[in-house]
Structure 1
């Protein structure tokens, strides 16, 4: 049983900028390509950081108020004589949160949620940019057809992986929702079956009504001879 990896769903042709790319050029690229962030790379395509819409808006939001006073970062920068953010190097978030090509989609989704980002640059073992993965890319496997999901569960999970006899369990799939019915020998097998079936690409939810012959989770029950 194989699951899709980041490499299979990511965008391979990535819009990038260099550290010296001006503010306005970054805005133009985001609007032109309808993207929310752009990786910043060096000459060897090593990932240096990421500039997002939030980074750009954060910089431009420091505007003078009605009394002509400057707020926040810009006031502090001017008082200290520091340069304002004019290029990707000034604007980018670094180090950037990134993914690796071999990550599974669940691991990637958890990283996005935990870090609060909409897309992740994908880098190889040397730190070079090889792609970018978005939330939409992670949702694409849920477009998988019910027949393909059912066949993978029946053949790959129940048959090849768990070695259950044919017709031990019946599998129904409706709009990605899987229903398992039937009977297995041992009660302890049920959580394993559910976990493996739930991990199949495209499964939205899983319901089960699986009976068992032997309750091997009860401590006071003798195992069958």
Structure 2
């Protein structure tokens, strides 16, 4: 079963700024569009990002009039001090751009967001052109799938097409994304595969499995592993 990709979840219309955009224009751009960050383009290609955090140092250090960080100040504090004197996007932006590709799987993109510690990834094609933006909120939309849709996918795709099981020989109920399964399958391995596939299905919140096997085809394998 194919996992959703970034292309199917991303926002395609992206508000952008130019490297020469003024500080005040950047503030107005964020405020007017109710966004917290904007990619900065140079010649049509992303070279950085300006977020609210990149603009706040102007107030934090009163435009550079407050006392400069001391000799032993951290790199981050010194960076914010430098941003306080910025007047264009080029001066205050953070580089490089945290990006991903349109064909990246949703789960991989979620891991990239977590690893980078950012709220969004800008989506660039193979030529480096900006084609969209993927936010945490875009990923969370996966959990808005209707219960009935999930139930149909589990029965028809997972049991019917992938496990070759009569879809109506098992009981499947979905409530607020929580899946409850009951019934009997032929082998224990099928039970474990079914549970794994359903739990990995985009939009599933949790799985309660009451599936039973007619016989345990994994017992000998596990015993051999222990003895070996």
Normalising by structure 2, report the TM-score. Answer: 0.84
Partner of residue 70, structure 1: 68
Shift of 1:175: 1.0
Q: Is the 8 A contact 2:63 2:84 kept in 1?
A: no
Whether the 8 Å CA contact 1:40–1:48 is kept in 2: the answer is yes
Does structure 1 conserve the Cα–Cα contact (< 8 Å) formed by 2:11 and 2:132? yes
Root-mean-square deviation (Å): 2.7
Partners in 1 of 2:104 and 2:80 — Cα distance? 42
Query: Which residue of 1 is the match for residue 6 of structure 2?
Result: 6
| Counterpart in the other structure of 1:116 | 117
Query: CA 1:21–1:157 in structure 2 vs 1: closer, same or farther (change >3 Å)?
Result: same
Structure 1: runs of 5+ lacking an equivalent = none
How many angstroms apart in 2 are the aligned matches of 1:93 and 1:161? 46
In the superposition, the TM-score normalised over structure 1's length comes to 0.85
Unaligned stretches of 5+ residues in structure 2? 70-76, 224-228
Shift in Å, 1:69 = 2.8
- Does the CA-based 8 Å contact 1:19-1:40 persist in structure 2? yes
Is the Cα–Cα contact under 8 Å of residues 64 and 70 in structure 1 kept in the other structure?
A: no
The answer to whether the Cα contact below 8 Å between 1:23 and 1:88 also exists between their aligned partners in 2 is: yes
Structure 1 match to 2:56: 57
- Aligned counterparts of 1:22 and 1:144: Cα–Cα separation in 2: 42
8 Å contact kept, 2:15–2:38: yes
- How far apart, in 2, do the equivalents of 1:55 and 1:41 lie? 16
Question: Residue by residue, what CA displacement relative to the aligned partner does 1:86-141 show, whole Å, maximum 9, x if unpaired?
Answer: 22112222111112111222222221122111111111111110011111111112
Q: Which residue of 1 aligns with 2:97?
A: 96
Asked if the contact 2:57–2:80 (Cα under 8 Å) also holds between the matched residues in 1, the reply is no
Contact kept, 8 Å, 1:179 with 1:207, in 2: the verdict is yes
- The match for 1:41 is 41
- Residue 140 (structure 2) aligns with: 139
